[in-house]
């Protein structure tokens, strides 16, 4: 079971609802955004530990959002999500700082595992930084 705050950013309201319900059911605090601008507003307000980020969105695409998140909030984990099976897209997102890439349609078990692992790694790194 997870603990921690997640921000799910996707322009598909049905997918947002499904993912929100799934992760809330696993004990996470979940916030949503339907585009990159909303994502930045949520990041300012709530500072989640992890962002699930769709790549293809209106106004600001996921690559732009990812780059800005990593510049402003380097400690926030980002898992990129896309329906684009192009391997170059996945490699680019990972090279720009995404910790994982999940292809749509989403394998929920794989996504849940990725979220849990990334939050554990992030918590361990933060704990290590606090050690004297």
Find the domain containing 123 and state its range. Answer: 5-130
List the chain pLDDT tens, one digit each, 132 residues.
346 799 999 999 999 999 999 999 999 999 999 999 999 999 999 889 999 999 999 888 899 999 999 999 999 999 999 999 999 999 999 999 999 999 999 999 999 999 999 999 887 766 655 556
Closest to 81 measured CA to CA, from 36, 51, 58, 59: 51
User: Across-strand partners of 42?
Assistant: none
pTM of the model: 0.91
d(CA 47, CA 69): 11
Residue 49: which CATH number?
3.40.50.2300
- CA-CA distance, 2 to 28, in Å (whole number)? 6
Tally the domains of the chain: 1
Sole residue written with tokens 């078990």: 109
């Amino acid at each position: 079971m997870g603990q921690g705050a997640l921000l799910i950013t996707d322009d598909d309201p049905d997918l947002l609802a499904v993912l929100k319900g799934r992760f809330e059911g696993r004990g996470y605090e979940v916030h949503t955004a339907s585009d990159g601008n909303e994502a930045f507003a949520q990041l300012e307000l709530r500072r989640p530990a992890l962002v699930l980020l769709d790549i293809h969105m209106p106004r600001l695409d996921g690559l732009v959002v990812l780059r800005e998140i990593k510049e402003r909030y380097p400690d926030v984990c980002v898992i990129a999500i896309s329906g684009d099976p192009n391997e170059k897209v996945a490699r680019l997102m990972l090279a720009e700082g995404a910790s994982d890439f999940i292809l749509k349609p989403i394998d929920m078990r794989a996504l849940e595992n990725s979220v849990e692992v990334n939050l554990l790694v992030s918590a361990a790194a933060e704990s290590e930084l606090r050690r004297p």
